[in-house]
Amino acid sequence: MKVIINSILLVLLLFSLSVAQGFDVKAKGQQLFTFKNDERNQATFHSVTALDEVDGLTSQISGNISFNVHDVKNSLHGEISFPTSSLQTGIKMRDKDLKEPKWLDAERYPNISFKIKKVLDVKQLAKNKLDVKVLGDFSLHGVTNEIPVEATITYLDESPETEARAPGDLIGISSKFQITLSKYGVRNMILGKRVADVIDIGVNIVGSNKLK
């Protein structure tokens, strides 16, 4: 009988975790988190072809995200962006080319951004950690396409340890997804030869609910 009861409790626990749509943390209600330029906040990109492999990054990310801590699925909104001119690949000449009109045209299209439109799924990994799948608008080179993005969100209650990074509660977001450059009007003659058409993007950022 004890084994049966324990099994039922385990099933109920797993079920409650699977249907949970929010965090089990100290905070209550709607929270707004702000991301500011911070060298530890980064977005990276990776291109690989038979001829070349290119890695790049930016640490000039800004934006915000808001949600009700107990109902993330129905309340999650937000947008992050960074200047096109901030992208770096480690080679100055290549960085210059990347921002020219024949590529990303940083002067005409100064920002790259992602805006959440809809939450498709939420899975609770721990009391303070969720896997989410969202549908959002990715804007690049003057073109906006709707894409799905999966991310892991970790909520950290304010503590002496978190204060070393920033005041307030912190939210950490980690995500990897892909974009196709030709779908954003980028059609340089070497696209697909020395630069891949499909680019892998990674995002690792931390925001605070007490930053102004």
- For 85-115, the pLDDT digits (tens) are 999 999 999 999 999 999 999 999 999 999 9
* 3-state class (DSSP) for residue 92: helix
Measured distance CA(172)–CA(26) in Å, rounded:
16
Question: What fold characterizes domain 22-208?
Answer: Lipocalin (2.40.128)
Measured distance CA(124)–CA(113) in Å, rounded:
27
Confidence at 16, pLDDT banded by 50, 70, 90: very low
Query: Considering the chain, what is the average pLDDT of its residues?
Result: 91
Measured distance CA(43)–CA(201) in Å, rounded:
7
Q: What is the pLDDT of residue 45?
A: 97
Beta bridge partners of 153: 130, 173
Percentage of the chain beyond pLDDT 70 is 91
Annotated domain spans of the chain: 22-208
